[in-house]
Amino acid sequence: MNGDTGSDALLDLVREDLRGFGGYASARTYDLKGEVWLNANESPWANPADAGGASRRYPDPQPPALREALARLYGCRPGQLLVGRGSDEAIDLLVRALCVPGRDAVLVTPPVFGMYAVSARLQGAPLLEVPLVDGDAGFAVDLGAVAAAAEQGGAKLVFLCSPSNPTGGSVPLADVAALASRLAGRALVVVDEAYGEFSDQPSAITLMARHANIAVLRTLSKAHALAAARIGSLVADPALVRVLRACQAPYPVPTPCVELAVAALSDEALARTSARVAQVRSERARLRQALATLPGVVRVYPSDGNYLLVRFGDPGAAFDRLLAAGVVVRDQRAVAQLGDALRITIGTPDQNDRVLAALDAREAAA
């Protein structure tokens, strides 16, 4: 690792008043052993609805079994992982820990996931926007414009959604690495890989050994079908993970969710997940090809995620036809650059057939 991209330079990006901040030391912070636990003011009796009785105890703040399973899944070390309530919590923690209100900016590339901008606004961080470029190959990030805007606007955080939601494109790893090199000592480049399992591109985690100012967001909500469990991870330099842990709430992940996630990361469960991801990818290709042949469809964008962005000649009519058929999709018409677009999640083969039937005006007229 180059010296100018090491942990020391990374910690210089943290708010001055939070460097060395210890946070709240909960009863589970200390690795103490005993048979009678009377240190957390918990009930000595289980709730009548809790047959096993485990829920009367506070959970481990960063459950070792879950961190180890996630580290194996993502190809990193447990010390590089911060586990929290979905990716949203990690986004909020990053903005709060790195951005001084009114001074340090957050850069985003719209149209994109809206929580980056929400977290910036809640922190009072200036928001810099470098719109995606809509070209023949789909929407793409203008990395030169991103780098220039980050330098000129004082960005501490640059969020790259890859695959991007809702547009579906991925940022090439070479571009991520080049941006991180240019912004070393200035900004943290955060690659949101919520949909990474559906893409052929390797994870940006593979770049972190050479670039300490890259962090990666992952989640079990999408490919692993655990959206309700709210298990998200930030993979980052261990020094930054320690800072964010001090800023995190004492018990971020409920025990039942941890147990469910650990079970979902067993070899057998992962094999089934892999098969379902392969089916989604196959259905994505089929649905994209079929949608492109329908009257009223203007453009279907390529996608590395489990969704397709589709432009329509009459998006309102398309949305209404889908809703009348009992199909709910994401309306993008209020989003800049997407006034004629809908985002359609890839469903089961039967669900996808239902989408096609609802949108086929010829079939509706028959």
Average pLDDT of 302-323?
97
Q: What is the pLDDT of residue 302?
A: 98
- Exposure string (b/e) for 216-255, b if CB count within 10 Å is 16 or more? bbbbbbbbbebeebbbbbbbbbeebbebbbbbbeeebbbb
Q: Do 74 and 233 contact (CB within 8 A), yes or no?
A: yes
Q: Look at residue 48 and tell me whether its pLDDT is greater than 50.
A: yes
Using a pLDDT cut of 90, give the percent of the chain over it. 84
Q: What is the pLDDT of residue 363?
A: 55
Q: Which of 19-28, 105-114, 283-292 has the lowest mean pLDDT?
A: 19-28
- Cα distances from 301 to residues 19, 95, 197, 314, in angstroms, run 44, 31, 19, 17
Average pLDDT of 55-68?
93
For residue 333, the domain's CATH number is 3.90.1150.10
Average pLDDT of 327-333?
97
Q: Please say which residue of 201, 230, 265 terminates a domain.
A: 265
Q: Please say which residue of 246, 265, 284 terminates a domain.
A: 265
Average pLDDT of 25-45?
83
Q: Please say which residue of 243, 265, 287 terminates a domain.
A: 265
Tell me, yes or no, whether 321 and 198 share the same domain. Answer: no
For residue 11, the domain's CATH number is 3.40.640.10
Tell me, yes or no, whether 237 and 353 share the same domain. Answer: no
Tell me, yes or no, whether 233 and 297 share the same domain. Answer: no
Tell me, yes or no, whether 274 and 249 share the same domain. Answer: no
Average pLDDT of 209-221?
97
Tell me, yes or no, whether 254 and 278 share the same domain. Answer: no
| Terminal-residue alpha carbon distance, the chain | 65
Q: What is the pLDDT of residue 5?
A: 45
Q: What is the pLDDT of residue 33?
A: 85
Q: What is the pLDDT of residue 366?
A: 46
Please tell me which residue, 31 or 137, carries the higher pLDDT value. Answer: 137
Tell me, yes or no, whether 237 and 321 share the same domain. Answer: no
Q: Look at residue 20 and tell me whether its pLDDT is greater than 90.
A: no
Tell me, yes or no, whether 145 and 286 share the same domain. Answer: no
**Which structural domain range is residue 273 located in?**
269-365
Q: Do 199 and 170 contact (CB within 8 A), yes or no?
A: yes
Q: Residue 227: pLDDT band by 50, 70, 90 thresholds?
A: very high
Q: Look at residue 8 and tell me whether its pLDDT is greater than 50.
A: yes
Rounded to the nearest integer, the mean pLDDT of the chain is 94
- Report pLDDT digits (tens) over 99-130: 999 999 999 999 999 999 999 999 999 999 99
Q: Residue 341: pLDDT band by 50, 70, 90 thresholds?
A: very high
DSSP category for residue 194: T
Q: Residue 193: pLDDT band by 50, 70, 90 thresholds?
A: very high
- Collapse the DSSP code of 308 into the 3-class scheme (helix H, G, I; strand E, B; otherwise coil) and give the result: strand
Tell me, yes or no, whether 114 and 228 share the same domain. Answer: yes
How many structural domains is the chain composed of?
2
Q: Which of 10-14, 23-27, 271-275 has the lowest mean pLDDT?
A: 23-27
- Report pLDDT digits (tens) over 141-155: 999 999 999 999 999
Q: Look at residue 36 and tell me whether its pLDDT is greater than 90.
A: no
Q: What is the pLDDT of residue 304?
A: 98
Average pLDDT of 266-282?
98
Average pLDDT of 279-285?
98
Tell me, yes or no, whether 56 and 73 share the same domain. Answer: yes
Q: What is the pLDDT of residue 3?
A: 39
Q: Look at residue 2 and tell me whether its pLDDT is greater than 50.
A: no
Per DSSP, the residues of 201-222 read SPPGGGGTTT-TTEEEEEESSS
Pairing between β-strand 231-235 and β-strand 81-85 as defined by DSSP bridges: antiparallel
List the one residue out of 6, 181, 12, 207 whose CA is nearest residue 97.
12
Q: Is the dihedral of CA 141, 143, 148, 153 positive or negative?
A: positive
